[in-house]
Amino acid sequence: MHIYYAAVSRDEEFPFFMVKELQKGYLTGVTGTYQDPVGYLVDDADVEAFDMNFSPKEKKKLPGQLV
C-alpha cells in the first residue's frame, strides 16, 4: 500500500499520517495521495470573527477537576 499525504514530499518521513485498512486486503495494490478536504484548514482570523457572534463565557473550575 502506497498512500501519501499531499502536503509532504513522498521522500519525507511523516509519522502522524497513517492509513489502516478496515477490510483486510481492501487497499492491496492501491497507490494514491490523500489531500485535506476543503474547509479542513481555516484561517485564525476567520475563527475569531466567528467566535465574536457568541456572548463571552466565564471559565469555571469545579471541585475534583484536574488543573
20-57 tens-digit pLDDT: 889 999 989 988 888 888 888 889 999 999 999 999 88
**How many residues can be counted in the chain?**
67
In this structure, is residue 42 part of a structural domain? yes
In this structure, is residue 5 part of a structural domain? yes
Q: 8 is written with which cell numbers?
A: 509532504
Give the domain extent around 32: 1-54
At 58 the pLDDT is 87
Q: Is the pLDDT of residue 16 over 80?
A: no
In this structure, is residue 66 part of a structural domain? no
Q: Which residues on adjacent β-strands are paired with residue 32?
A: 3
CA-to-CA distance for 57 and 42, rounded, in angstroms?
Answer: 23
CA-to-CA distance for 43 and 31, rounded, in angstroms?
Answer: 31
Q: Is the pLDDT of residue 59 over 70?
A: yes
- Give the chain's domain count: 1
Q: How many CB atoms lie within 10 A of CB 39?
A: 6
